[in-house]
Structure 1
Amino acid sequence: MSLKKATLLIIIILVIDQVSKFYIKTHFALHHRIEVFDWFHILFVENDGMAWGTKLSDFIAGISDRTAKLALTIFRIVAVIGIGYWLVTSVKKKGPHILIVAIALIFAGALGNIIDSVFYGIIFDDSYSQVATFLPETGYDTLFHGMVVDMLHFPIWKGVLPEWIPFYGGDYFTFFEPVFNVADMAISSGIGMLIVFNKKAFHQDEEEIAEAVYVEKE
């Protein structure tokens, strides 16, 4: 797969991701929900942390939420630079098609959420009990302190778990509880492809290692 095609894939995902987030941010108040089907809802939430809303400050004592948020955003930027380098290197080495697609998906998803984290705090005002305004006089926060917009919710099953289930028996449970976005889907799909098609994605690297070992023995 060429770098041009990989870039096109990234741009398509980014456009879909950002258009959906802009629409939600400028048409929904926070926690507003539309039930499309019983098992699929559009639910506007904002994520100030990592996956599932986890924050660095939950793990590191003494660090403030704002410092943790800034550190997380900077880490995401460094990570996406590394992923971008991995993508370009894989294309130059003519890596397997599935590997390049997977990396492109992960890169696009990571970049999509970085845009929220870096810029949304200054280009939108808050969504509490109101629909946000695009490019207000004052945003809801500063640069690098924006929150990621999530809206896709799939409560496929709701109910009380059987008592015999360890730890959670008798509790009310929803599957699938987390709310996510297009960028999250791209990241999950890319990682899933690398796990499921591990041998196809990395067979070329294994062949290069085997060849290097053979040459060294010679």
Structure 2
Amino acid sequence: MNKYVKYFGIALLVIAIDQIVKMLVHFQMDFGTPGQIPVFGDWFKLHYTTNPGMAFGMELGSEYGKMILTSFRLVAMVAIGYYLYYIIEKKNHPVYIVCIAMILGGAIGNLVDSVFYGVWLNNAPYNAPTPWFHGQVVDMFYFDIWEGYIPEWIPLWGGSYTALWPIFNIADASIFIGVAIILIYQNRFFPDKKEESPSEEPESLS
């Protein structure tokens, strides 16, 4: 039982830190540029903004796009949670299990925003048909590498004024770190099975 508490506890810790930071940002900072707080010069700031869509602000362009996105996040959360249980049972590499726990915590952290913040924080569109699933994700960590207008010919982001580096939150960082560690150390987490030596040729019948 302790093995489940340890790894699922990591996910719960990520969720708790993520939500505490988001609540502090929402209630203690002004929205947008007026409330921006420099941390390290001009290149790292705290900047309260919301993201109605996926990573980098991309959205599903339909009336029910937000509902579809939130539903997908809910399904992904269940799938990752079951997978975490499965790899704990199989006694996979402990660092790999920690990474999956971090990814689960990050996924749930952003799911909480999508499901509840439209009502709790009133940050969903006013015409949302089902506001319980139309909340926007709160972001705050901003690395100001470059800002400017992106030409219209560039796919997805073209025709908009944006920043080179996206604004993100604790949940995003947890997911990113978990995925990055898995990619870097995948050979340790998934060692290739040694090729079995070729079987000996059958003895001649003659």
Same fold at TM > 0.5: yes
Matched, 1:152 2:156: no
Rounded to whole Å, the distance in 1 between the matches of 2:181 and 2:39 is 29
In the other structure, the counterpart of 1:56 is: 60
In the other structure, the counterpart of 1:118 is: 115
In the other structure, the counterpart of 1:42 is: 46
Q: CA deviation at 1:194?
A: 1.1
Q: CA deviation at 1:174?
A: 9.0
In the other structure, the counterpart of 1:13 is: 14
Rounded to whole Å, the distance in 2 between the matches of 1:109 and 1:176 is 23
Rounded to whole Å, the distance in 2 between the matches of 1:198 and 1:101 is 14
Distance 1:210 1:90, change over 3 A: farther
In the other structure, the counterpart of 1:163 is: none
Q: How does 1:69-84 map to 2 (within 5 A)?
A: 69-84=66-81
In the other structure, the counterpart of 2:85 is: 88
Q: Deviations over 1:22-64 (max 9, x none)?
A: 111112232021111212100001000000000121xxxxx22
Q: CA deviation at 1:176?
A: 5.3
Rounded to whole Å, the distance in 2 between the matches of 1:196 and 1:153 is 25
In the other structure, the counterpart of 2:157 is: none
Q: How does 1:164-179 map to 2 (within 5 A)?
A: 177-179=165-167
Structure 2: 5+ residue stretches without partners: 149-153, 155-160, 200-206
Which protein has greater RCO, CA pairs closer than 8 Å, 6+ apart?
A: 1
Q: CA deviation at 1:103?
A: 0.4
In the other structure, the counterpart of 1:191 is: 179
CA contact (8 A) 2:117 2:123 kept: no
TM-score of the aligned structures, taking structure 1 as reference length: 0.74
Question: What secondary structure is seen at the aligned counterpart in 2 of 1:41?
Answer: strand
Distance 1:159 1:176, change over 3 A: closer
Rounded to whole Å, the distance in 2 between the matches of 1:196 and 1:183 is 20
Rounded to whole Å, the distance in 2 between the matches of 1:109 and 1:144 is 18
Structure 1: 5+ residue stretches without partners: 58-62, 128-137, 161-166, 168-172
Runs of 4+ residues over 2 Å off in structure 1: 157-160, 173-177
Q: Deviations over 1:96-128 (max 9, x none)?
A: 11210110010000000000000011111349x
Question: What secondary structure is seen at the aligned counterpart in 2 of 1:119?
Answer: helix
Distance 1:26 1:11, change over 3 A: same
TM-score of the aligned structures, taking structure 2 as reference length: 0.78
Aligned residues: 179
